[in-house]
Structure 1
Amino acid sequence: MKRAFLTAIALTLVAASATVFLNQDKALASVDNIISDANFINENAMDEGQIAAFINKFPKSCLLPRNYPQDLSPISFIEPNNYFDHGSRQTSAARIINKMSKYYHLNPQVILTTLEKEQALVSGSQGCASWRYNSAMGYNCPDGSENSLKDYPDLGIYRTCVKNPGNAGFARQVNRAAWQLRFDQERAYGNLSWGGDGNVYYYGRMTEGLRSR
């Protein structure tokens, strides 16, 4: 995998808790080889049941319903149908992770790792405040956004670093961040036709993977 793409996800994977690191690549990981391509896109690394079983290993996990905060936004665990359709049915964290990993062809362990790295939601080691779910994957939270927090009353979300309401909340974070990870990989290889959301194709953004600008 090209260095530019690896740099883009380095903080996501290297700084993650060892309990959710991708063990197959751990021994070989370096700045130039964070994770193999085959492992990164292995959507079958875990099924929904295995994801749920892994989460259940952590009694304080914020992804277990018994640990949800009382002021959690009601949209947090609504199952997305695709990139644009946020869905309407309540479901589990394991199902959301599994569905989005399949939809974007991304290893679910990458999603679990990012959730732990960003907000410690898998282990629950930092507590389960509602704001952690709202920015679960750190998606759409640019540097300095903590100085201009947003409120989305219609969603029951307040004081979040997420700049667009369509990206706020656990399920939407997993959906959009999973897309972003795969989008960046495809662009690193110079693939201009991969949109991943089924409707829109993007031509402007490139990395130094195969075609620098």
Structure 2
Amino acid sequence: MTNFYKKNIAIFVMFTLFIPNLVWGAEVDLNNYNYIISDAEALNYQSMDKKDIQEFLDSKGGYIANKSYMGNNPSPEQLALDPNKEYPKTRTTAEIIYNAAQEAKINPQFLITMLQKEMSLITDKAPTENQQKYAMGYDCPDRSGCAFKTSGFANQVRATAQQFAWDLGKDEETGKYRIYGYSWSPGKTSCADDYNSFLPCTSDGIEVTPENRITAAMYRYTPHVVGNMNFKRIWNKYGFGGEIDDEENDLPVAEPGFFPEGALLKSKGSQAGTIYLITGGEKRAFADMTSLLSRFDPDKVLLVDSAELDKYDNGYIIAYANYSVLESPDGDRYLIDGLTKRLIVSDEIFRQLGFNPDEIEKVSQSELDAYVTGDSLDASASPFAELWQDMSNEAIYLVKDGQKHRIVDQFIVDVNFPAMKIKDVTTKTLDDLKTSTPIKLVDGTLIKVETDARVYVISNGQRRLIPDGNTFGKLGYSWAGIYAVPSKIMNLHQLGEPILSRE
């Protein structure tokens, strides 16, 4: 696989993923992009002491509540002794937040909200190492990787606090607030969700005119509307701001059971638990690993809360391996092809397929009913998929049932068919086949364009936006599982509905 497609966690870990004009889980005044919180709120560094912070973290039940991290995060007492000395030490999350807030004179509630907005760390019970390593998304610009020198939970929290302290503070020589020296500054209109902040905005951009210093500083840190409106939503939800009124939320909200079609799910904390396929709004259990492995990549199984699985009705059990031959009580024989059953119309076709009678499994009608009826097998064209490559131009096709499906990029071969061998054939051999639709990425593949922060999951051949980091975590995905792809692969998949969920 080329370096272009390399999974690059450094690019992605900073993001609460964004799309213009989509605000999920809205509460308080999320239509005003120009104002997030007040300057006074951002600078209220005495809003919580260490005990208050610890109690708040405990109340949210996240993994980091009782976690400790190594870093240079001096306490107020240590800074008073020698502000230039380094004090590397393992400290609790609450200590790190408190010390950073006191040093930078930034509200600890602000830092808590940032941790949730960027990586869902306040509530995530099982965050990845990279979520913690790049906890604040600090020094992780949209179009390049995160800086190693500022990685680490403790470093991220302190560096973020210091950046906002710098932006909100005054220049010692001029006496002017530093934020006015940037493209994002109070009273100045700039472009969010765009290639850069300068006017005029492109069709992707949104004009924003920050009303105060902290709003400008936050757009400088995260130049995306949804990310900053998400901050406002969390801030108010946690009681750090205005009242919450869910009755006024008229934005789309995900229905129970929001996992995309084709998702493979397993309950967290269950080593030998049942694995399910989400299809048709139901969860279908795999009877054994053979029935799973013959159809899907086990690495795509997502670990999710059991409560999410309980939202789905149980469908038919998937009880037989792909390409099994099942015989009905009436003596009809069927080839299992994915989740369909295909009638083998004659003994001759049965022989042409390469089967022998010992491979037939006799089943009940109810077991056959678990599979949708597909096209009958009544010709010599093979139902078994193969990869063929035109020797004259190296174009690759998936060939099945007498039809050829173009594969537009080697990346799709690598992801969809990593173990399948490619057969070289002549152009004439391919010309004898009927041309069908191009092959798309397999369900569950996470993709983004190199220069765009937005991440999509493939579901039913469509790309569906994952609009925020909380939803990404709730879906059970891994940051390391995201592929950066060229536009031709992205555009091969029609844009579907975004995946929406409440926190």
TM over 0.5, shorter chain: yes
State TM-score, norm by structure 2. Answer: 0.28
Number of aligned positions between the proteins = 156
**Matches of 1:27 and 1:84 in 2, distance apart?**
42
Residue 162 in structure 1 maps to residue 164 in structure 2? no
Residue 65 of structure 2 is matched in structure 1 by: 63
Residue 141 in structure 1 maps to residue 140 in structure 2? yes
Q: What percent identity do the matched residue pairs reach?
A: 25
In structure 2, what residue type is equivalent to 1:90? T
Corresponding residue to 1:177 among 126, 137, 160: 160
Give the conservation status (yes or no) of the 8 Å contact 1:141–1:162. Answer: yes
- C-alpha spacing 1:29/1:63, structure 2 compared with 1 (3 Å): farther
Residue 53 of structure 1 is matched in structure 2 by: 55
In structure 2, what residue type is equivalent to 1:94? A
Which stretch of the first structure deviates more once superposed, 80-89 or 39-48?
80-89
Give the conservation status (yes or no) of the 8 Å contact 2:63–2:124. Answer: yes
Quote the offset at 1:17 in angstroms.
8.5
Residue 124 of structure 1 is matched in structure 2 by: 124
Quote the offset at 1:89 in angstroms.
1.6
Q: Which runs of 5+ in 1 are unaligned?
A: 1-10, 69-75, 146-160, 195-201
Residue 80 of structure 1 is matched in structure 2 by: 73
Give the conservation status (yes or no) of the 8 Å contact 1:16–1:116. Answer: no
Give the conservation status (yes or no) of the 8 Å contact 1:135–1:173. Answer: yes
Larger radius of gyration: 2
- C-alpha spacing 1:84/1:203, structure 2 compared with 1 (3 Å): farther
- C-alpha spacing 1:88/1:58, structure 2 compared with 1 (3 Å): same
Residue 206 of structure 1 is matched in structure 2 by: 182
In structure 1, what residue type is equivalent to 2:171? L
**Matches of 2:41 and 2:51 in 1, distance apart?**
19
Quote the offset at 1:204 in angstroms.
11
In structure 2, what residue type is equivalent to 1:177? T
Residue 250 of structure 2 is matched in structure 1 by: none
- C-alpha spacing 1:45/1:185, structure 2 compared with 1 (3 Å): same
Deviating beyond 6 angstroms after TM superposition, the runs of 4 or more aligned structure 1 residues are 15-18
Quote the offset at 1:77 in angstroms.
3.3
Give the conservation status (yes or no) of the 8 Å contact 1:136–1:170. Answer: yes
Quote the offset at 1:57 in angstroms.
1.0
Give the conservation status (yes or no) of the 8 Å contact 1:42–1:107. Answer: yes
Give the conservation status (yes or no) of the 8 Å contact 1:134–1:162. Answer: no
Quote the offset at 1:203 in angstroms.
11
- C-alpha spacing 1:97/1:132, structure 2 compared with 1 (3 Å): same
Residue 148 of structure 1 is matched in structure 2 by: none
Give the conservation status (yes or no) of the 8 Å contact 1:16–1:117. Answer: no
In structure 2, what residue type is equivalent to 1:80? N
Quote the offset at 1:80 in angstroms.
1.4
Aligned residue runs from structure 1 range 12-23, under 5 A: none
**Matches of 2:35 and 2:130 in 1, distance apart?**
33
Which stretch of the first structure deviates more once superposed, 54-63 or 31-40?
54-63
Quote the offset at 1:193 in angstroms.
2.2
Quote the offset at 1:43 in angstroms.
0.4
Give the conservation status (yes or no) of the 8 Å contact 2:137–2:156. Answer: yes
Could you list the per-position Cα deviations for residues 107-151 of structure 1 after superposition, in whole angstroms to 9, with x for gaps in the alignment?
A: 1011001101111111016x3111111110000011133xxxxxx
State TM-score, norm by structure 1. Answer: 0.61
In structure 2, what residue type is equivalent to 1:78? G
In structure 1, what residue type is equivalent to 2:141? P
**Matches of 2:46 and 2:24 in 1, distance apart?**
21
Q: Secondary structure at the match of 1:138?
A: coil
Q: Secondary structure at the match of 1:89?
A: strand
In structure 2, what residue type is equivalent to 1:138? G
Could you list the per-position Cα deviations for residues 69-124 of structure 1 after superposition, in whole angstroms to 9, with x for gaps in the alignment?
A: xxxxxxx4335127976522211010110111111111101100110111111101
Q: Secondary structure at the match of 1:46?
A: coil
Residue 35 of structure 1 is matched in structure 2 by: 37
Flag the structure with more relative contact order, 1 or 2, with Cα contacts below 8 A and sequence separation at least 6: 1
Say which structure is richer in helix.
Answer: 1
- C-alpha spacing 1:29/1:130, structure 2 compared with 1 (3 Å): same
Say which structure is richer in strand.
Answer: 2
Could you list the per-position Cα deviations for residues 158-183 of structure 1 after superposition, in whole angstroms to 9, with x for gaps in the alignment?
A: xxx42141x11001001111111122
